[in-house]
Structure 1
């Protein structure tokens, strides 16, 4: 199965998994009456909506380039990631509100054993699915899939915190531990939401690829630019799974167009083979345009 089909299929199944997890958490809240479990269930609603947004964004992002979008639709995934980050923040604020109300109106939990068991099952399922999404998203260079996985992972942290808080509340009889744990978890969710939005905004702003990848690009260019004098002004940017690479290649002034074109083809092929999603633009220049001396290796 191609990476594109894998990403699309996983994004669709995220909606299904999210609905199942939400149903389990809603059942746990209904059985116990816990405000923390209610807040945990409310976050799962956000998961379902966010997964739907990710599925739609991925379908758009993998649409081939057209006349109005000659560089493709890759950035659609960043829009989904931003939306997910915002929804995480909204979920955290809802949790804080419910927790604050519970401080003033504490109440004993009903059927806590069954409710916590159901929540634990939901958390384990969420955790497994989150790992699958993040690993596949990184290998396929899909920001939307990675963001969806991170979103689910924050939900796992939420569930773990809620379970720990409720167990402690049951052991001590301190009912205020239920909303207190919800507040602590909400603060953690806010941090993850901010990080997700920040990373996605950087992608929308045409951030350069990370330094390690830039070094790999330079290595590949040097290894495949025999007969060229140097390359300079390397610029990169990332947009979803795509990596846009642009630089100037200086060749001897008496080199034929055909020969310089062959060198460019060799470099482009090497970059596209070793860096998935590479989009390469090379500006060929004569010898008097050299800036750095021999920059081939």
Structure 2
């Protein structure tokens, strides 16, 4: 794992604390239920950033006797935890929105509240782009999940700010808790998406079709001297991609020559795709299935 990835996770905790402080202050100034819902979600952001930091630290540990394939799935666990926290935040916001709807009131000092919340939203918008860019570049489910969560926070904060403008204009105080309820539903949907994607990683889901197609292409191009490759299986575990397949070679080929072909394929995959673990099972031509990857 690149050291920059870990530092980004550390910085994410700091950014989350600053945003939480700004949004909490905005709620205290205005008494708005919608701003309270925004602040509650930011508490989850800080907790999720801490979980992502812990997961990245664990996943960076080298393979050991008890974990011969490494600790990469720790990032998926972090993303699942974050999804659960997001769902809990959504139900908490719905509860506050319900009580606010029963006893509605116009917010105090709306301009000051909008300025504080707007500053927090701008900071979140910049930071979520950083997290998504670094997470995708390093194939880090933990950072990507954190970035998506913060992006949701940005969208909901913009909705809250828009509603803040409408509340004093319309003079309808029920609009404030109604906005909070809409925030909660959006957060709930995001939490479900995070958990669904993370569970796929824990269940050894295959990489996207374009990645699988690229693997097949590289095997086909660099397996000169072999007959075919079949039973190709791939899976993702955090930033790692695991590839395994059977390589059929002529029965008269020496072990050394077959080994050279395997080395050539492995070098091609490792050069084209970072963090790849490859297992190749060599078989004689009598095991050919005449399907799978055709050697060019």
Normalising by the residue count of structure 1, what TM-score does the alignment of the two structures yield? Answer: 0.98
- Equivalenced residues, count: 295
> In the alignment, what sits opposite 1:81?
79
Q: CA RMSD in A?
A: 1.0
> In the alignment, what sits opposite 1:242?
240
> In the alignment, what sits opposite 1:107?
105
Structure 2 residue 263 is the aligned partner of structure 1 residue 265: yes
- Residue 167 (structure 1) shift: 1.1
Partners of 1:178 and 1:79 lie apart in 2 by 35
Q: After superposition, give the CA deviation of every residue in 1:113-138 in whole Å (9 maximum; x if it has no partner).
A: 01111101100110110011011101
> In the alignment, what sits opposite 2:149?
151
- Residue 111 (structure 1) shift: 0.8
Partners of 2:93 and 2:287 lie apart in 1 by 61
Partners of 1:186 and 1:196 lie apart in 2 by 15
Q: After superposition, give the CA deviation of every residue in 1:172-225 in whole Å (9 maximum; x if it has no partner).
A: 111111111111121111111101000000100000111110000000001100
Whether contact under 8 Å (1:102, 1:179) holds in the other structure is yes
Partners of 2:21 and 2:290 lie apart in 1 by 63
Q: After superposition, give the CA deviation of every residue in 1:22-63 in whole Å (9 maximum; x if it has no partner).
A: 000011011101011011111111111110010000000011
Whether contact under 8 Å (1:165, 1:177) holds in the other structure is yes
Normalising by the residue count of structure 2, what TM-score does the alignment of the two structures yield? Answer: 0.98
Whether contact under 8 Å (1:4, 1:62) holds in the other structure is no
Q: After superposition, give the CA deviation of every residue in 1:134-158 in whole Å (9 maximum; x if it has no partner).
A: 1110110100000011111111112
Q: Which SS does the other structure have where 2:2 is aligned?
A: helix
Could you tell me which runs of 5 or more consecutive residues in structure 2 were left unpaired when the two chains were aligned.
Answer: none
- Structure 1 residue runs of 4+, over 3 Å off? none
Could you tell me which runs of 5 or more consecutive residues in structure 1 were left unpaired when the two chains were aligned.
Answer: none
> In the alignment, what sits opposite 2:295?
296
> In the alignment, what sits opposite 2:215?
217
Structure 2 residue 172 is the aligned partner of structure 1 residue 178: no
Whether contact under 8 Å (2:135, 2:144) holds in the other structure is yes
> In the alignment, what sits opposite 1:122?
120
- Residue 288 (structure 1) shift: 0.5
Partners of 1:192 and 1:109 lie apart in 2 by 28
